[in-house]
Structure 1
Amino acid sequence: MPPCIWFEGGDKRNALASLLSGTLFFTGIWLAIDANSTHPDAFKGPYHLCGIVGTLSLIMINLVSNNQLQGDSYSGGFLGPRGARLWLFVGFVLGFASVIASCWLLFSQFVGNDEEKDNMWFATKIGHRRK
């Protein structure tokens, strides 16, 4: 692997990876809030929905540990390890649905949509308006 991706942090590797992923997640949420507060007419409701479902998916996936999936330390609950596997599967399905919906919104709203190009906030900011 390239040296910029492969990191030998020893015991601190997981903590640093968690710090980096939390920072990236916070930055994405902050940019979404900023886009909505500065341009509320351009940042529509479905854009928020994809982010909310993706966040819910990440939380659901990270709540399940390996021991719960294997059944080593998890004997309680309604379904036991089978319920943990079902919970993880639903989390992955929600994450995949969020990515697919985001791509769908990208292509339906921004790619090849000539009537919306004049009203997009980033196009008017740069000054590339079609006449």
Structure 2
Amino acid sequence: MKDILTRIDCNFIPVKDLSASIDWYTNKLGCRFMWQEGDYAALNVHLSQEGQGNIVSGLAMITLLQVEEIVPMSFFYQQTPHPMINFYSSDIQYTHAKLKENGVQVSEIKDMGGIQAMEFTELNGHLMGICHF
């Protein structure tokens, strides 16, 4: 049977200033700028040899979209703000140290048994997470 869906194409993240956000995501998180068209800019979190052109097969891209008003993305779980986007790191200790070195305010790493996780707030106030398992 043929798959109905192949992959997540991108995760849209609303931003107030597209240029400043491109700079933040590339310099603070190490994302790779791929293209910009009007109010949209696409970034890859990790670039592999797979894929065609600016699209990496099997990986979701981040698409920043400049908007006039920001409503920070998150929801509440057990009365605590919870990230809507969760990144994966193969070495969460390194990622934690690198983000702190880059001036990003990050939470402490939480050990939840087989999963380690941390959170950070990006330039536009969106709560995001990073996990390792």
TM-score band, normalised by the shorter chain?
under 0.3
Looking at secondary structure, tell me which structure has more helix per residue. Answer: 1
**Larger Rg, first or second structure (1 or 2):** 1
TM-score w.r.t. length of structure 2: 0.28
TM-score where L is the length of structure 1: 0.28
Of Structure 1 and Structure 2, the greater strand share is in: 2
